[in-house]
Homo-oligomer: A and B are copies of this chain.
Amino acid sequence: MKVTKQLNNIIQANELDFFLEAHNGLSAKIVSEAGFKGIWASGLSISASCGARDRNEISWTEVLDIVERMVNVVDIPILLDGDSGFGDFNNVRCLIKRAERRGVAGICIEDKIFPKTNSFLEGKNQKLVSTREFCGKIMAAKDTQVDHDFCVIARTESLIMGQSVAESIDRCSAYAEAGANAILIHSKKNDADQIQEFSQKWGKRCPVVIVPTTYQNTPTEKFKEMEISLVLWANHLIRSSIRYMQEIADSIMKNQNVYCIDSKIAPLSEVFRLQNTAELEAAEAKYY
């Protein structure tokens, strides 16, 4: 089944599903092999992997180049973190045109200004755009996509910016009317109370996506009760790689050798397996 259809089905289904973050082809493959049904191509993680900040320091075409290499290696849908759309409605159109063509299954855009700053950071440029402006972006995105199943998810940073649940509901209602296939309600609270309140008031106008980064201690059962459609575990692989690369680098530095850590890391054969070397050997036999 084509990835756009897969993603659309997951979002529309009456059960909770989970996407895990990936930030390059390798982590995408790992997410896929672990059994997840889809991938969150996280802006934070992609930026971090490049050594850049989550503030649009990496251009939108650089992001597309990275995501295209993820598309190359997995068959599950990739949901692209489109940040605030990399500019105005017209930049959103440029983004959709090329992202869809390169095999992205759907895109999520948020109602902050460009450049956006990560939701968990303070900063003078943590600002929402008007509901009207953001609806224009959603409409522009929906009118640009070619494949009917391509999903546009509207993310509100309303709660992040200190607005009330009622205000968030208003924004999301407008976004759904503008054509969003789902809404993503983001919170930086340490518990899921805001999200729960939002869910109750939201009803089932359209599917709801959440990102439980700060309220990650909430039992998954609770998200099911809230009738959440999709949970994004949004940054856990980049954080895994940081922890372990630091630990291993420090060990090597301290011991001035690598045999001290060799059994603790993946063998070279596992690198080759992930790269699908076997397929190349078969192809050489056929074409070379």
Contacts and interface: CB of A to CB of B under 8 A. Distances in A.
Copies of this chain, tallied across the complex: 4
Contacts of A89: 283, 287-288
A44 interface: yes
A48 to B, nearest CB: 5
Interface in A222-272: 233, 235-250, 252-253, 256-259, 261-262, 264-268, 270-272
A34 B261 CA distance: 15
Contacts of A217: 259
Contact of A53 (B60, B266, B275): B275
Contacts of A33: 246, 249
Given A102-B101, A217-B259, A244-B244, A26 B55 contact: no
Given A139-B287, A220-B256, A271-B48, A245 B237 contact: yes
Interface residues of A, number: 115
A105 to B, nearest CB: 13
Nearest to A270: B242
Contact of A123 (B24, B55, B284): B284
Q: Is the interface of A mostly helix, strand, loop or mixed?
A: helix
Contacts of A233: 252, 258
A115 B140 CA distance: 16
Nearest to A238: B271
Interface in A77-103: 86-91, 93-94, 97-98, 101-103
Given A57-B91, A219-B257, 7 more contacts: A48-B274, A50-B69, A120-B268, A124-B284, A124-B288, A239-B268, A239-B270
